[in-house]
Amino acid sequence: MRSVLQASALISLMGVLVGPSVSNAQLKPVVDPQIQSYAKATGVTGALTVAGSEMMKALSHRWESKLREFYPGLAIHIQGIGSETGPPALLEGKAQIAAMSRQLTKKEIEEFTKRYGYEPTEVPVAADALSVFVHRDNPISGMTLPELDAVFCKEHRLGLNEDRISWSQFGLSGEWSDASITLIGRNKVSGTATFFREQVCGNGDFKDSLKAEAGAASVVMGVKKDRYAVGFSGIGYRISAVKPISIAVAKGKPFIEPTFETVTDGTYPLRRHLFLYVNKSPKQAMSPAVMEFVKFAVSFEGQQAVIQEGFFPLPTAQLNSLFAAWSQPLQAATAAHATPARN
């Protein structure tokens, strides 16, 4: 089910620094003007609930705020507790859209299909680099995935047969040589935690010593306050007091920084898409409120909000394909499932 980030993007770049990075190479993207611009529709009223990702809550609110300017009679409720709350809300009809920082699992899709007779419609709306943050004073520049496994996870399923609990095990000297590693991450309702466990722990468990935060920003703030901490969160939550480290898939492989370019070309190991999932019947017309929310998210204006929240826009061709699909309700489900491919 893992989405494949397209290697080419028709999105222009400008060299705007977003804070001190490992090699000052972090670039902030600019939304391609060729992405379809949103235009106000007619007769859009009613209520809409978006449930799921805490990390996408601020982004969803940006979309909601703009749509309310177009449609004063539209009530949009954002429930951003964690991605794990999205699938059951969508399944039970308590939400019309599930915002997810991970893809639905096979089991979640099977449960939905069993109840409704068709799969939920998946709509990628942004790209993200799930980043590993350390304090800005920490001299370490990178870790391999097996090393991250040895730091964060109980079972060490990626092959490094040791438990790393001290910064001295990474060759750090001075004050760092005697310092134990403080672990900070997300809680069990977070899709970010699920994704990190899949990619770093091999679907194993986190160590009991991990401090599980309810919010993505709280992870970064925890690293800011503890010089010896390491934590994982979305790149959009980066602040100047912390730095994202480079990651290599294995020993001897290149260390890759989490940047727009490395997420787009697929070289950053912990890249991912952010999604909206919709209960879209292939035989019934879609609610105008749901249609316009999704269409706005993949529009030029919606992708501007993506950048403002620190995430990365999707390739122009993919966005325009989605925009066209959601401008034609009966074709929405087919088009959304056609992009991107799963592996």
Instruction: Say which amino acid occupies 205.
Output: D
> Global pTM?
0.84
Question: What percent of the chain clears pLDDT 90, i.e. is strictly above it?
Answer: 84
pLDDT in the model for residue 43 = 87
Least confident of 39-43, 93-97, 225-229, 333-337: 333-337
pLDDT in the model for residue 27 = 52
- Would you say domain 129-264 falls under CATH 3.40.190.10? yes
Residue 176 — very low, low, confident or very high, per pLDDT cuts 50/70/90? Answer: very high
User: In the predicted model, is pLDDT for residue 187 greater than 70?
Assistant: yes
Residues 281-304, mean pLDDT to the nearest whole number: 95
User: In the predicted model, is pLDDT for residue 142 greater than 90?
Assistant: yes
pLDDT in the model for residue 339 = 38
pLDDT in the model for residue 29 = 85
Residue 19 — very low, low, confident or very high, per pLDDT cuts 50/70/90? Answer: very low
pLDDT in the model for residue 329 = 56
User: In the predicted model, is pLDDT for residue 332 greater than 70?
Assistant: no
**32-64, pLDDT tens digit by residue?**
999 999 999 998 999 999 999 999 999 999 999
- Would you say domain 28-127+273-337 falls under CATH 3.40.190.10? yes
Domain boundaries, the chain: 28-127+273-337, 129-264
pLDDT in the model for residue 90 = 98
- The 3-class secondary structure across the chain, one letter per residue, is CCECCCCCCCCCEECCCCCCCCCCCCCEECCCCCCCCCCCCCCCCEEEEEEECCCCHHHHHHHHHHHHHHCCCEEEEEEECCHHHHHHHHHCCCCCEEEECCCCCHHHHHHHHHHHCCCCEEEEEEEEEEEEEEECCCCCCEEEHHHHHHHHECCCCCCCCCCCCEHHHHCCCHHHHHCECEEEEECCCCHHHHHHHHHHCCCCCECCCCEEECCHHHHHHHHHHCCCEEEEEEHHHCCCCEEECEEECCCCCCCECCCHHHHHCCCCCCEEEEEEEECCCCCCCCCHHHHHHHHHHCCHHHHHHHHHCCCECCCHHHHHHHHHHHCCHHHHHHHHHCCCCEC
Residues 266-292, mean pLDDT to the nearest whole number: 95
**204-263, pLDDT tens digit by residue?**
999 999 999 999 999 999 999 999 999 999 999 999 999 999 999 999 999 999 999 999
Is pLDDT larger for residue 10 or for residue 37?
37
pLDDT in the model for residue 206 = 98
Residue 328 — very low, low, confident or very high, per pLDDT cuts 50/70/90? Answer: confident
pLDDT in the model for residue 15 = 30
Same fold flag, 28-127+273-337 and 129-264: yes
